[in-house]
A and B are shown apart, each in its own frame.
Chain A
Amino acid sequence: MDLKRMGNQTVVFANPPVILASYSVVGPKEGQGPLGKTFSKVWNDQLHGEKSWEVAESKMLQEAMQGVIDQAGIPKEQIDFMLAGDLLNQIISSNFAARQMALPFIGLYGACSTMALSMAVGSMLIDGGFARNVLVGVSSHHDTAERQYRLPTEQGTQRAMSAQWTVTGAGSLLLGKSGTGPRITSATVGRVLDFAVTDVNNMGAAMAPGVSDTILNHLHDLQLKPEDYDLIVSGDLGAVGLALAGEVLKKSGLDMGTGFMDCGVMIFDASQDAHAGGSGCGCSSVVFAGDIMQRIKVGELRRVMLVGSGALHSPTSSLQGESIPGIGHAVVIEA
């Protein structure tokens, strides 16, 4: 049997899995942002009537997943796996959502890159013949992330200019072996790169090398150029990371041109006080499930590369003096 691998680290699907449906749920700040109209559902407040932010985040993920199942109209019995991840310790948002969904569950952790990672793994399961339909989804919540990674939310401090704002949002997709919709044609699983960034307020800088490495290898593996894509979009590099990745790739001989964007830059505008932009698993998942899927459907975009970006740190390792490793996972979606 022929390997479905190309080059160093890219898989090319023989029967590209179809994105049958997409659904996104976001918090109020994201709803007020420039992409507000592209989301399936906007919550009016961060707690949404739940007893804690953690419960709210898990409910948000469930809503997104149920939304995608309803939209696709596929009976749950035909969904063979659920893949999910989030930013909290022991990925509790996903575990508790999986408890409600009652599907065979694989929990994933790729920090903020988890959406692209779950799309890659889900596509491999389908193209490998292990599943008919796979439900993927991720979530993040501003307040659960703040209290786990940083300070109490009512603490009166100033955020650094390079800091990013964790997106409250959950995005979900239903991937299928057959049907109509955009297809996931290839995926490049990233390597962990660490360029000794220790500033926890500059995640974009920590992730840019990993993302650049994945883009470079993807294009080299498939012998393609940035112009072959209508859009190459990173997950949550933010303004600082996006500029850095562009520069690193330029020095490595790749001019990314104007088709290189970042979900974290797209989701908020300058008036929203998000500093360098949005971040978190939710960021790339809702921008992809909302805005990018819409633009693919109307024919504006025909070939998109989503490069999920993850900063693989923990408050513990940072306090112990470790630097912040970064990773990027790429998936290619074609209309």
Chain B
Amino acid sequence: MANQTLRKPTIAVTPEQYKSLSQQFSPKPTIAKNVVRAFVVGGIICAIGQVIINLFATIGLSRTEATTAGTATMIFIGALLTGLGIYDEIGKFAGAGSIVPVTGFANSIVSSAMEFKREGYVLGVGAKLFTVAGPVLVYGIATSIVVGFVYFFLH
């Protein structure tokens, strides 16, 4: 039964050929649709933020105070919608449009907190809270320090 000395059947495609085949057969990302949706939804989120800031200004807060209060409100809304299981649906539709605004930042932190709650509050929530948002904070803060130095020495 045993016919021992074979070994040839090998697929007749080189890794280089496979790479181009793979590109040919993989669906292209729907860039135009994504850009339009991101623009519209991102714009709507920012417009809502502006309305809230203006409302705070009308009740007597200074411009800086109103901006801070408005941002905090948007973070709250982002966190709430994440908790209600709505923000990921918005994100699926809008992509960068709902990731880039501050509501998206809230989403990345709250979704991590919800996800890792089952591993406990210290090594779960505590350790994993910034899994997604961490890189943004690290490089955002690092960049602001560099820019701060540049500003300091130029003035």
Using a CB–CB cutoff of 8 Å, the interface residues on chain A facing chain B are 2-8, 12, 51-52, 147, 151-162, 193, 195-197, 202, 205, 209, 212-213, 216-217, 220-221, 240, 243-244, 247-249, 251-253, 276
Contacts and interface: CB of A to CB of B under 8 A. Distances in A.
B9 A217 contact: yes
Contacts of B12: 251-253
A220 to B, nearest CB: 4
Interface stretch (B46-54, B67-75, B82-90, B137-145): B82-90
Between B82, B98, B111, B132, the greatest number of chain A beta carbons within 10 A of the residue's beta carbon is seen for B111
Contacts of A157: 88, 91-92, 95, 99
A196 B22 CA distance: 11
A4 B108 CA distance: 55
Contacts of B10: 213, 216, 252
Classify the secondary structure of A's interface with B.
Answer: loop
A147 to B, nearest CB: 6
B121 interface: no
Contact of B26 (A51, A52, A159, A205): A205
Contact of A216 (B11, B27, B30, B91): B11
21 contacts: A5-B1, A8-B7, A12-B1, A147-B115, A152-B112, A154-B88, A156-B87, A156-B98, A156-B111, A157-B91, A157-B95, A158-B95, A193-B11, A195-B22, A216-B11, A217-B9, A220-B8, A240-B26, A243-B25, A248-B13, A253-B12
A4 B1 contact: yes
B13 A252 contact: yes
Given A244-B25, A249-B11, A158 B34 contact: yes
A252 B10 CA distance: 8
A145 to B, nearest CB: 13
Give the size category of B's interface with A: 35 or more
Contact of A161 (B3, B27, B92, B131): B27
B15 A247 contact: no
B110 interface: yes
A223 to B, nearest CB: 10
Nearest to B18: A195
Contacts of A162: 26-27
Nearest to A162: B26
Interface string B16-42: 011101100111111000100000000
A234 to B, nearest CB: 14
A144 to B, nearest CB: 11
A154 B11 contact: no
A193 B113 CA distance: 38
Given A195-B18, A248-B21, 8 more contacts: A3-B2, A8-B7, A152-B114, A154-B82, A155-B107, A156-B94, A156-B98, A156-B107
